[in-house]
Amino acid sequence: MWKRSLKARLLLFLALPVILALAIDSSLDLYSTYNEAEGIYDTELSHVASLMLALLHAEHQQETAQDLIADDKKQINPEIVGLTTFFLKDEQQYEEKVAFRIWKHGKLLFYSKRAANFGDERFNKGFSTQQINGRNWRFYVLPDAKTGYTLELAQRLKIRKLLVNDILTTIFSPLLMLLPIILLITWMGLRAGLKPLLALSEAVKRRSAKDLTPIPTERLLTEITPLVYSINGLLADLDYELEKERRFTDFAAHELRTPIAVLKTQAQTALVSTNDAERRMILEAQVQAANRATQLVDQLLALARLEQGDIPMEKLPLNDIVRSVVQEKRPLAAQEQIALRFEQQAPLAVRGNKELIAIILSNLIENAIKYTPAQGDVLVSLSAQDQTVLLAVSDTGHGIPEDKLPYVTEHFYRVPGQRQPGAGLGLAIAKRAAELIDAKLALQNKSAGGGLEVLVQFPAIFS
């Protein structure tokens, strides 16, 4: 749930810093509060001890020759005993956690109830922490050299911990109680803040598969705007591709309808004809129509395969591939009385796909042979220029009008007035195949001798 819910993830990312900050603040407060309580209680211990010793000193000056009797509480001024609970007034839970002893010249004169188990051990002057019977006590020992009195005032450390706990409980209990409320309010705020995103999701969900119009971009939140623009870009690309597929299907159906209609008409004529010579002519015409239909289907299939993507690339010996395709097209050139030649420099290698390079070259050679008059020339050449490999196919035909050059590589485009049979797919297939292997295809009319030259530039030479 947490990984799939945006609200849950946002709540987690918002809550964690709050909880972490609260934990760190609690630790710091605990440390500082405990240290401060230590200082306060130590100061009060020293103050009370000083006051008690001052009273003992005053009492010593008023003493008669009679000595004080040890362990006789009545002979110790009650005001002195009462000082031990001065700073613990009305704190009943702490009263029994304070103890004191009074010594004079090394003799124990008086001790409180809680000091009964302290034994005869004497403690050093000043503050110290002692463990007695498994309990920790904070001692303050204050001697008086003039009177010979030594006052030991002790306090259980548990008092300080209880006080710190009470303080922290008072401080953090409201915060802990408020934490669920804060998380609930944050959750509600996240739900309200994500409503535009949910509305966008619903708007996309309600669309039909045929509705590729852009999503309205008015009054969009800043954070959602890039997402909507990306979706609109995707919708535009899909609309373009689907429209291209529709055009492709319409053109393909139209181009296939012509040879099929010719075959049907010729077959109907052959059925009623009684002349063998006429029937033979009709059959030969049917073979030519079937060949044109076959070529068109092959081109359509080749174009469909090119659109599938995921083309494997590898280092290839370009000279060998070109030589093989040229050799394959020589019978076609000889049939049309065209001289097909191949010129090459040193062996060249490129990174590409063997099948696609063969498709490019086959379509370019066939196109050159088709539009070159009898006794003409078609030249295929390979050269290296500026760290690139250049494959050129040139002919001695009539060329293409300059204003039509940008359009002849589009699907099913044919130059107006063209009498040669064809579907207008050869150059489109070659261009698309070149794009898939990161090559560039360009057309230009030859300045000398007429004709068209098609250049395929591969990005780099690989030795």
The CATH 3.30.565.10 domain(s) of the chain lie at: 311-458
Give the Cβ contact number of residue 210 at 10 Å: 7
- DSSP letter string over 345-393? -S--EEEE-HHHHHHHHHHHHHHHHHTS-TT-EEEEEEEEETTEEEEEE
What single-letter amino acid sits at 311?
I
Q: What angle, 0 to 180 degrees and rounded to 10, lies between the N-to-C axes of helices 225-272 and 276-306?
A: 170
Interatomic CA distance for residues 255 and 303, integer angstroms? 15
Q: Are 321 and 358 in contact (CB under 8 A)?
A: yes
With 0-12 / 13-18 / 19 or more C-beta atoms within 10 angstroms meaning exposed / middle / buried, residue 17 is exposed
Q: How far is CA 63 from CA 30, 111, 297, 463, in A?
A: 48, 20, 132, 117
Residue 179 has a pLDDT of 77
Residue 413 has a pLDDT of 61
What single-letter amino acid sits at 340?
L
Interatomic CA distance for residues 87 and 97, integer angstroms? 13
The CATH 3.30.450.20 domain(s) of the chain lie at: 6-167
Residue 262 has a pLDDT of 67
Residue 1 has a pLDDT of 46
Interatomic CA distance for residues 312 and 145, integer angstroms? 101
DSSP-assigned beta bridge partners for residue 444: 453
DSSP-assigned beta bridge partners for residue 299: none
Interatomic CA distance for residues 92 and 163, integer angstroms? 13
Give the Cβ contact number of residue 83 at 10 Å: 20
Largest CA distance in the chain: 169
Q: Which two tokens stand for residue 144?
A: 């008086």
Q: Which two tokens stand for residue 399?
A: 């060329």
The three-class DSSP label of residue 18 is helix
The secondary element (H helix, E strand) that includes residue 261 is: helix 225-272
Nearest of 240, 258, 56, 217 to residue 144 by alpha carbon: 56
Residue 95 has a pLDDT of 46
Q: Are 160 and 137 in contact (CB under 8 A)?
A: no
- Could you please state the CATH topology (level 3) that the domain comprising 311-458 is classified under: Heat Shock Protein 90 (3.30.565)
Residue 89 has a pLDDT of 45
Interatomic CA distance for residues 177 and 179, integer angstroms? 6
Q: Report the CATH number of the 210-308 domain.
A: 1.10.287
Phi, psi of 132 (to 5 degrees): -125, 120
**What CATH homologous superfamily does 6-167 map to?**
PAS domain (3.30.450.20)
- DSSP letter string over 217-245? -TT--TTTHHHHHHHHHHHHHHHHHHHHH
Own/partner pairs for 234-238, CB < 8 Å, 24+ apart?
236/212, 238/212
Nearest of 423, 453, 422, 455 to residue 440 by alpha carbon: 455
Phi and psi based region of residue 317 (left: phi greater than 0; alpha: psi -120 to 50; beta: remaining): beta
The CATH 1.10.287 domain(s) of the chain lie at: 210-308
Residues 6+ apart with CB under 8 A from 371: 395, 397, 398, 420, 452
Half-sphere exposure of 303 (CA within 13 A, CB side): 24
- CA triple 416-298-368, angle to 5 deg: 45
Q: Which two tokens stand for residue 449?
A: 């001798």
DSSP-assigned beta bridge partners for residue 101: 111, 152
Tally of residues, the chain: 463
With 0-12 / 13-18 / 19 or more C-beta atoms within 10 angstroms meaning exposed / middle / buried, residue 10 is middle
Write the DSSP symbol of residue 457. E
Q: Per-residue confidence of the chain (463 residues) as pLDDT tens digits?
A: 445 667 677 777 777 887 788 778 777 877 787 777 788 888 888 888 888 888 877 766 665 434 444 344 435 555 555 555 544 444 445 445 778 888 888 888 888 888 888 877 777 888 888 888 888 888 989 888 888 888 888 888 887 788 777 877 887 787 778 778 877 887 788 777 777 777 777 777 787 777 778 877 777 777 777 888 888 888 888 887 777 777 667 656 655 665 677 677 777 877 877 787 877 887 877 777 777 677 667 766 766 665 665 677 888 888 899 998 888 888 888 888 989 999 887 788 888 888 888 888 888 888 888 888 888 898 999 888 878 888 899 888 888 787 777 777 776 666 655 666 656 677 787 888 888 888 888 888 887 667 888 888 887 665 5
Residue 422 has a pLDDT of 58
